[in-house]
Structure 1
């Protein structure tokens, strides 16, 4: 019956048995036979046919939406089955490098054989726990990585902006230099020190930049951030001011457990390295 329903939707779309048959790679007699079988099975006349035209009957029009839903559901079923059948790897990543994670996922999906990637945005602490528990296959972590993990594909992200609350005296500046931060509270996600910056450090747990931005908006401190994050965040309660602080950067690496090495993981390592070389 599924084949017949597919034929029905094609004839309804084309209003031509010959054109519908060509679409599906069938002969016109085979198409006519399929529609006849469907009409007999339903006990309804679906098309009114003359020598010059083909049109849907009232019953055919009523059933067409249901037929299209059947075809759509079958397509979704087939696509999901294919997705579940292919190897899948789970990757945790910090939001500042989300563009890289997405690029890696596209690379793996386009290779042969394809590897599916389930992405999970997570701060350093959450990602490390997920790795330890086997919830993810690998994670992009700020270095140094926790002991016992293998790392590769190290790269740097420049920190060149300062997140400040709207109304702060630095919010209207065209740029900020380290001397402007004297006496300010600087938020430090994941207890990462900001080398060379004056000010009082306040630790933000879990290396979570999103949570840290909430603290900035609440007036709890200022936050040095990479431009990668600035491009993706749109908030009316914050301003991102260019920060000229020399070689201020965060170093990341792909990390995984040496006990859970698979061919898909090695494909992920290669995809990350390739994405870094071609960006």
Structure 2
């Protein structure tokens, strides 16, 4: 039997309303056209779907059995149409560090209003840079300095104003830790460069992977300067977060892309990032 979407839709609406005339009004059809559509479906299926009398319309046993399948056909057709529309629109693939996930989501919402789809990929700096170089993503939000082969724009800063220490550490009860109190401590750095201007010994850990770095803090391997955003959202019994006064300590990020792969959608992304940074 050929797929008869229109007729199947008519069948489900008549089954819902138990009235050809009401179903016809719902779908903007005449009653004879509605009746003919259901008759065509009955002939194609080889079964009677409704018992019709002058006063009543009822589903037959076959109609009741086939109704769930008809609903599935309608749902699948709708999903097909929606997915086709999504695939037909231009799509940007954006890699971003989990730390700035709220910004990435805001960017995606802005581009949706401009008929540009966004596929988000959370990734650390190294993984994001590789994906960008290989053309797997259209752009990436990277901690600076970005690799020299990429173009960058829309720089922004994330202030680092808290310190993660293991539970029971002597600094956990401090109202605020100063830079001078970090002398002799091991400071964990998620990235490629030590924290500028801080005393103590630096230990580099995986790029942008604050979760793994916090595991090291809990294990007593070092202390971790972090943004307030993480201190507010992460809850662990084995780690304490203490305010940190270490001057102008911050992580700088920028949107990066390959100059060989510039498209109108990419330029729309650049504009959306700039707009998201200036407005809420």
Q: State the distance in 1 between where 2:232 and 2:19 align.
A: 51
Change (3 A) 1:201 1:61: same
RMSD: 2.2
- Tell me if 1:150 matches 2:167: no
Q: Offset at 1:175? A: 4.2
Q: Offset at 1:174? A: 5.0
Change (3 A) 1:66 1:165: farther
Q: State the distance in 2 between where 1:204 and 1:275 align.
A: 30
- Tell me if 1:80 matches 2:80: no
Secondary structure, aligned partner of 1:260: coil
The aligned counterpart of 2:112 is 109
1:142-173 alpha-carbon deviations (Å, 9 max, x no partner): 11111122111111111122223344444455
TM-score by length of 1: 0.89
Secondary structure, aligned partner of 1:221: coil
Q: Quick check: 1:95–1:229 contact (8 Å CA) kept in 2?
A: no
Where does 1:41-56 land on structure 2 (aligned, <5 Å)? 41-56=44-59
Q: Offset at 1:83? A: 1.6
The aligned counterpart of 1:27 is 30
The aligned counterpart of 2:229 is 228
* Candidates 38, 63, 67, aligned match of 1:64: 67
Where does 1:231-242 land on structure 2 (aligned, <5 Å)? 231-242=232-243
Secondary structure, aligned partner of 1:259: coil
Q: State the distance in 2 between where 1:106 and 1:33 align.
A: 45
The runs of 5 or more residues in structure 2 that have no matched partner are: none
Q: Offset at 1:266? A: 0.5
The aligned counterpart of 1:215 is 216
Q: Offset at 1:51? A: 4.9
Q: State the distance in 1 between where 2:278 and 2:69 align.
A: 49
The aligned counterpart of 1:141 is 142
The aligned counterpart of 1:15 is 18
Q: State the distance in 1 between where 2:265 and 2:177 align.
A: 44
Q: State the distance in 1 between where 2:29 and 2:232 align.
A: 51
Change (3 A) 1:44 1:125: same
Secondary structure, aligned partner of 2:245: coil
Q: Quick check: 1:191–1:207 contact (8 Å CA) kept in 2?
A: no
Q: State the distance in 2 between where 1:233 and 1:22 align.
A: 55
The runs of 5 or more residues in structure 1 that have no matched partner are: none
Q: Offset at 1:267? A: 0.7
Secondary structure, aligned partner of 1:156: strand
The aligned counterpart of 1:128 is 129
Change (3 A) 1:26 1:245: farther
TM-score by length of 2: 0.89
The aligned counterpart of 1:191 is 192
Secondary structure, aligned partner of 1:98: helix
Q: State the distance in 1 between where 2:178 and 2:19 align.
A: 72
Q: State the distance in 1 between where 2:187 and 2:274 align.
A: 33
Q: State the distance in 2 between where 1:17 and 1:216 align.
A: 70
Q: State the distance in 1 between where 2:81 and 2:273 align.
A: 29
* Candidates 6, 11, 27, aligned match of 2:9: 6
Change (3 A) 1:39 1:246: same
Where does 1:153-172 land on structure 2 (aligned, <5 Å)? 153-172=154-173
Q: State the distance in 2 between where 1:270 and 1:23 align.
A: 43
1:8-63 alpha-carbon deviations (Å, 9 max, x no partner): 22222333333332332222222222122222222323234455554433322221
Secondary structure, aligned partner of 1:243: strand
Task: Tell me the matched-pair count.
Answer: 277
Q: State the distance in 1 between where 2:16 and 2:122 align.
A: 43
